[in-house]
Amino acid sequence: MTAEPQAAPAAPTGDAAPAIVARNVTRTYGTGAGTVTALDAVDLDIARGAFTAIMGPSGSGKSTLLHTLAGLDVVDHGSIRLDGTEITGLNDDALTKLRRERIGFVFQSFNLLPMLSAEQNILLPLELAGKRVDRAWLETITSAFGLTDRLSHLPSQLSGGQVQRVAISRALVTSPAVVFADEPTGNLDSHTTEEVLSFLRLSVDEFGQTVVMVTHERDAAERADRIVTLADGRIASDENLRGQR
């Protein structure tokens, strides 16, 4: 059966070039009769300086899409350009460098190192990349997230909300081209979920950050500027929410 054509990618916001351009992205797992097509010739532009949510049921391909866009997984076919760099042909060392310098990550578990202070956790990506600390930028983001008086504390001495603010600050500290958030509210109560979404929204509205978030929660997705919904590895709908918030 011939698949229905996907809608054309939405135009990027304003005149800026898209932060990510993906074309004909295909990813399969397994072989023979056990082959599963996680992504089926996906075309997608991610607007720079906007908040994009990716939704879909379990098995729809949403996490695979995030992982391929971020260079955490390889594609079988297609092209992905992130901040002007074609990433699908990069070797492991080049991908590691790109992820350290131009991508921020917010994971469901937040993954703070328990033996490091909040400030040390935030600055870890810079240390790993061998980059100088911009103290003014660090002060800007930690002040915006209400962490100024908590920077010397260990994660065990922070509230759940403070831990997630540290994780988001860590994702922003390198001034990345894109921040990817993978189910960042999946295990949180309603209050902490609201905090996470508010701070992701703040990073877009106040700092002009590009954020791509995978979520299965419609309420969370509606905090974004755009919702891309996947089904069976293809884009089923693409909603522009700008002006509706």
Neighbours of 166 (CB within 10 A): 26
Q: Write down the pTM of the prediction.
A: 0.88
Convert the pLDDT of each residue in 214-228 to its tens digit: 998 899 999 999 999
Asked if residue 8 lies in contact with residue 236, where contact means CB atoms within 8 angstroms, the answer is no
Burial of residue 79 (CB within 10 Å: 0-12, 13-18, 19+) is middle
Longest dimension (CA), the chain: 60
Look at 30 and 88; give whichever has higher pLDDT: 88
Q: For residue 228, what are the contacts with CB-CB under 8 A and spacing of at least 6?
A: 44, 52, 53, 54, 55, 235, 237, 238, 239
Contact 172, 207 (CB under 8 A): yes
Parallel, antiparallel, or unpaired: how do β-strands 226-231 and 36-46 relate?
Answer: unpaired
Q: Write out the two tokens for 86.
A: 């074609």
CB atoms within 10 A of CB 95: 17
Distance from C-alpha of 97 to C-alpha of 84, rounded to nearest angstrom: 15
Domains and CATH numbers, the chain: 47-62+91-240 (3.40.50.300)
Task: Show the CA angle centred on residue 195, arms to residues 167 and 151, nearest 5°.
Answer: 40
% of the chain with per-residue pLDDT over 90: 67
Average pLDDT along the chain:
88
Residue 76, amino acid: D
| Dist CA 130 CA 79 (whole Å) | 29
pLDDT at res. 179 = 96
What are the pLDDT digits (tens) for 116-152? 999 999 999 999 888 899 999 999 999 998 999 999 9
201 contact partners, CB below 8 Å, separation of at least 6: 51, 223
CB of 211 within 8 A of CB of 53? no
Nearest-angstrom CA–CA distance, 241 and 4: 25
Locate tokens 């698949």: which residue? 3
